[in-house]
């Protein structure tokens, strides 16, 4: 790098990024996406699991463009990897929200605020709102005006606060579902595995969200923005760790949900019997045709060769 390139890179990143770390992260997410494709194929995937594959590859693209931005620094090359790495976890969190909603729907219960429709709609709206706010803030970062850039950072911080609050509320919902025996998730092995995966992956996403909120809240001169290792320690590692649970067949969302669906369907109560008594049902049955016996009819011969039966 020339002196001009170095100064421009430091201006955008706050430090000189390490190419090796970015290449390693890119390779890791490519491999994780491929492994998830294989696991999906082997374990009866739900369609939404494809979102996780795309998220892994978008993460990989973000780290690849990050290397380009370090060697050819400009506002555009800096913004794109930032947006990719910043926004992808919103889609990952959305998958967790969908999974809990489906598990609740299979149980057939509607208890208070833990209704499947309520879970799905509330967290979907919150996630889309967080994504939109962060994306809008990221768009403001492309401005050449320092005041607009600062506004963009504040907007991103608001979006991250919404995301953190949503993840915390979701953890509370997962705990309530796990603690209530009527949902049966605690009684079945696949239910326990599903809840365990939701606990750990949501907690990892929450840690990552808190880190990003601190990053944008402390300013460009803070330690967290002038050193590279926190980004890999509190963003790359938590997100990639989530994928180990998505990939392992034991905790695979698609397999667990399909098995729970079959289980709840097999243990569902039988349909209610008819309110009519057995005697009434017998009376309503249509008469069966029977072959007349030889003694049931008599032929009378009358004069005039006419037979009357």
Each of the 309 residues of the chain gets a pLDDT tens digit; together they read 666 678 888 888 889 999 999 999 999 999 999 999 999 988 766 788 999 999 999 999 999 999 999 988 888 888 899 999 999 999 999 999 999 888 888 776 665 566 777 777 888 899 999 999 999 998 888 787 888 988 999 999 999 999 999 999 999 988 887 877 666 666 678 888 888 999 999 999 999 999 999 999 988 888 999 999 999 999 999 999 999 999 998 998 988 888 877 776 665 555 444 444 444 444 445 555 545 444 544 444 544 444 444
Q: Is 123 exposed, middle or buried (0-12, 13-18, 19+ CB in 10 A)?
A: buried
Contacts of 51 (CB under 8 A, 6+ apart): 91, 92, 94, 95
Say what angle helices 189-218 and 253-266 make with each other, to 10 degrees: 140
Q: How far apart are CA 180 and CA 184, in angstroms?
A: 8
Residue 307: strand pairing partners: 301
The model's pTM: 0.82
DSSP alpha helix (H) spans, the chain = 3-13, 19-42, 49-71, 75-107, 116-140, 146-179, 189-218, 223-226, 229-231, 237-247, 253-266, 278-284
Q: How far apart are CA 197 and CA 51, in angstroms?
A: 17
């Amino acid at each position: 790098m020339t002196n001009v390139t170095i100064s421009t890179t430091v201006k955008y990143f706050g430090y000189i990024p390490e190419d090796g770390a970015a290449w390693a992260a890119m390779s890791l997410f490519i491999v994780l996406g491929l492994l998830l494709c294989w696991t999906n194929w082997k374990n009866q995937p739900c369609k939404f699991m494809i979102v996780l594959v795309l998220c892994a590859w978008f993460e990989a693209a973000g780290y690849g463009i990050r290397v380009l931005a370090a060697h050819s620094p400009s506002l555009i090359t800096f913004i794109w990897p930032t947006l990719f790495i910043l926004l992808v976890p919103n889609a990952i969190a959305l998958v967790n929200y969908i999974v809990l909603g489906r598990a609740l729907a299979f149980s057939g219960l509607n208890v208070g605020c833990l209704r499947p429709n309520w879970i799905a709609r509330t967290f979907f709206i919150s996630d889309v709102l967080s994504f939109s706010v962060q994306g809008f803030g990221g768009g403001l970062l492309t401005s050449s005006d320092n005041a607009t850039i600062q506004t963009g950072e504040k907007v991103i911080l608001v979006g991250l606060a919404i995301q953190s609050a949503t993840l915390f509320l979701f953890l509370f919902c997962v705990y309530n579902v796990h603690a209530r025996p009527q949902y049966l998730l605690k009684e079945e092995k696949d239910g326990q595995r599903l809840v365990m995966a939701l606990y750990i992956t949501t907690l990892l996403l929450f840690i990552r969200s808190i880190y990003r909120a601190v990053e944008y809240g402390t300013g460009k001169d803070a330690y967290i923005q002038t050193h590279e290792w926190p980004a890999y320690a509190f963003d790359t590692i938590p997100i990639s760790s989530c994928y180990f649970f998505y990939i392992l067949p034991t905790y695979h969302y698609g397999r667990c949900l399909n098995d729970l669906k079959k289980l709840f369907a097999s243990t569902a109560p039988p349909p209610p019997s008819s309110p009519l008594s057995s005697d009434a049902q017998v009376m309503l049955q249509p008469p069966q045709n029977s072959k007349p016996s030889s003694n049931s009819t008599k032929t009378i011969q009358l004069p005039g060769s006419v037979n009357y039966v």
